[in-house]
Structure 1
Amino acid sequence: MPTVSDPIVPDGAPRPRAERIKCGVLQFGGEFIHCGEPMQISGTGFHSVYAPMSTEDPAVDLLDVYLATKVLQCRCGFRMELPS
């Protein structure tokens, strides 16, 4: 399977220079690709969309809005968290 560092190039076409190939995350359809391979789900969770406005305990509990997330991980250890 070709990877980001070994792209498929038609016969006769110039091969890209190594410094032009950068590692990053590529989204292809519903897949996220890093290191040339699809990332795998390594966990899920819920996180509040609000940052605390104070370090003290609030006198009144406010309603929080939570966002469901999923954590994707590459075999190299790179991780990223996305909304589900």
Structure 2
Amino acid sequence: MNPVDEEWESWKVTYGKKYNSPEEESIRRAAWEKTKIFVKAHNQKYEQGLTSFTVGVNQFADLIEGESPCGCMNKKTTQPN
């Protein structure tokens, strides 16, 4: 097992992640990897003094775009006039 696979498996155990299918796991892993890239880039900016805070990989790292931590999707709604 390569180091990224090991990190993925460890992260899933840490946060109790289980997926309904291999397809869902693949989607979630891609989101997790994208999050890791974002975290690394952001924290490099912090080290350069370009931002005032760091970020990390947490239990929400496998969320896909538009999904919120409550498990619902963010939807734009219009207010009636």
Structure 1 or 2: more strand by fraction: 1
Structure 1 or 2: more helix by fraction: 2
- Same-fold call, TM > 0.5? no
TM-score of the superposed pair, with normalisation by structure 2? 0.22
Max Rg structure:
1
